[in-house]
Amino acid sequence: MVFKTGVAERDEWCYSPTVGVGPLRFGMTVDEVVEAAEMLGQTKVRDCAQDHALFTPTWKVEVHRRGVAPSPTAVTAYVSQAVGLFCIAADAVHGPQVAYDGLPLVGRDLSELESEAIAYAEAMDVHFRYTPEGYAGPDDPGVVMRGQLVGLVLRSRPLFMVTRDGANTEWDSMPSEEYRVNGQSGE
């Protein structure tokens, strides 16, 4: 199935809390992530800067779609030496669509996503939560909503996560490369 979100056509991936997203499963090694991602396209593996001595070395696996070369990154997977795959980020423009109980999360105008998250929470009699930056999303510790500037619109770039080595929460586990202020790198 293919979703249209006003940004790009995209494949649909399933999210399973504490299990994974699409073909990627939490706990996979770098080699397993690369093998699973081969069906999507090419991968590039890089070392991540070790900003916190608490964490073991981490690698960033960028997955690029097949077809147009060079293609932008569609998915970024972060793999820790100690716990394996712990974070999967879907690009707001080129990444697959991932829904949370029917609520599409990827590439959405963040103000529209907030309205839908509130309506969903009211209809289902559940909670939703805000990130410290003010982005609304599901009340699931494994989903951390981020913003990615696309043109003049701030779109949703969700991170699907489990707690990594030495961290207390998924928020504490977030790779430093994923910290952004209004969709821009904080560095």
- Count Cβ atoms below 10 Å from residue 30 Cβ, excluding itself: 19
Q: What is the pTM of this model?
A: 0.86
| pLDDT tens string 78-121 | 999 989 999 999 999 999 999 999 999 999 999 999 999 999 99
Q: Residue 37 and residue 156: Cα distance in Å, rounded? A: 22
When pLDDT is averaged across residues 4-33 and rounded to a whole number, the result is 84
Q: What angle (nearest 5°) sits at the alpha carbon of residue 32, between those of residues 64 and 7? A: 25
Between 94 and 41, the more confident residue is 94
Q: Residue 27 and residue 10: Cα distance in Å, rounded? A: 25
pLDDT at 185 over 60: no
Q: Residue 29 and residue 35: Cα distance in Å, rounded? A: 10
When pLDDT is averaged across residues 135-143 and rounded to a whole number, the result is 89
What's the helix, strand, coil split of the chain in %, to 5?
15, 40, 45
Pairing of strands 9-13, 97-100: parallel
Amino acid at 109: D
